Amino acid sequence: MIRTNTSNVTIVDYRAGNLASVVKAVTALGATPEVTSDPEVVAKASKIILPGVGHFAATQFLSDRGLTAAMRSRIADGVPFLGICVGLQWLFEGSTEAPGVSGGGFLRGHCERFVTAEKVPHVGWNSLSVRPQSRLMAGVADGSYVYFTHSYRAGQQEDAVAVTNYGGPFTAAVEAGNIMGVQFHPEKSGKAGLTILKNFLEL
């Protein structure tokens, strides 16, 4: 098992699916996760993970509870932030999955449903084209497989550090300074996924 020598990480709980696997993976890597829905706790976080499985509308909880403001403030302070799946989508301006719900707006553009003859949702392992200079993707070989399960995605954009193809290319991972996100599930992607989480935890 690869382990990290890092400190603690705050995992934001917004009632969107199950956090157990993210908690388990970062724990196995040697971190001490703190799961919270309390904006005051988030406001003191030294690292933030926003997981997410399910519907973009669930992110409404973040603004309702003051979590958006807390995360925005911490991100502005330079704290490393990792959005996973819907957590990545939340970094954008919004998603056509829930047009009335705003995203964090840290990255330009909207997430949209796949337009493809392939089956939707996109479920399963798919390979990554990795941009070499990424801190998040360090040690992850080009062509590595990771696990996806989603119906909406962000198109290609400049901050992408990994791109996947499913009925056309889309953003699999982004990195803009301390703001990072992955559309796939690193906690479910075997060794490649654990490497990515370890990279984040060691930032």
Partner 1 sequence: MKGIQFVDLIDAGDPAALAVAHAEAGADEIVLLDITATHEERGTLIETVRRASRGLFIPFTVGGGIRELRDAAAVFDAGADKISINSAAVARPELIEEIGRSFGAQAVIVAIDARRAADGADPVRGAEVFIAGGRKNTGLRVLDWAREAESRGAGEILLTSMDADGMRNGFDCELTAMVSESVSIPVIASGGAGTAAHFAEVFDGGRADAALAASIFHFGVSSARELKTELATHGIPVRLPC
Q: Which residues are catalytic?
A: 85, 185, 187
Q: Does position 35 bind partner 1 by CB under 8 A?
A: no
E strand or H helix that includes residue 48: strand 48-50
Of 121 and 168, CB closest to partner 1 = 121
Q: Does position 125 bind partner 1 by CB under 8 A?
A: yes
Of 61 and 147, CB closest to partner 1 = 147
Place of tokens 């973009």: 56
Place of tokens 């796939």: 184
CA distance 59 to 117: 29
CB of 29 to partner 1, least distance (A): 10
Size of the site for partner 1 (CB under 8 A): 30
C-alpha dihedral over 93, 97, 136, 132, to 10 degrees? -90
Segment contacting partner 1 (CB under 8 A): 3-11, 14-22, 162-170, 175-183? 14-22
CB of 199 to partner 1, least distance (A): 15
Binding partner 1 (rule: CB under 8 A), the pick from 72, 147, 169, 202 is 147
Q: Does position 28 bind partner 1 by CB under 8 A?
A: yes
Q: Does position 203 bind partner 1 by CB under 8 A?
A: no
Binding partner 1 (rule: CB under 8 A), the pick from 189, 198, 199, 201 is 189
Cα 85 from chain centroid (whole Å):
5
Do 198 and 2 contact (CB within 8 A), yes or no? yes
For partner 1, the binding residues in 59-118 under the rule CB under 8 A are: none
CA distance 166 to 159: 19
3-state secondary structure of 21: helix
Buried b (16+ CB within 10 A) or exposed e, 102-113: bbbebbeebbee
Place of tokens 């829930």: 98
What is the secondary structure of 89-122 as a DSSP string? Answer: HHTSSEETTSTTSB---SSSSEEEE--SSS-SSE
Of 20 and 44, CB closest to partner 1 = 20
Segment contacting partner 1 (CB under 8 A): 6-14, 43-51, 121-129, 175-183? 121-129
Footprint on this chain of partner 1 (rule: CB under 8 A):
16-18, 20-21, 24-25, 28, 53-55, 119-121, 123-125, 127, 145, 147, 149-150, 185, 187-191, 193-194
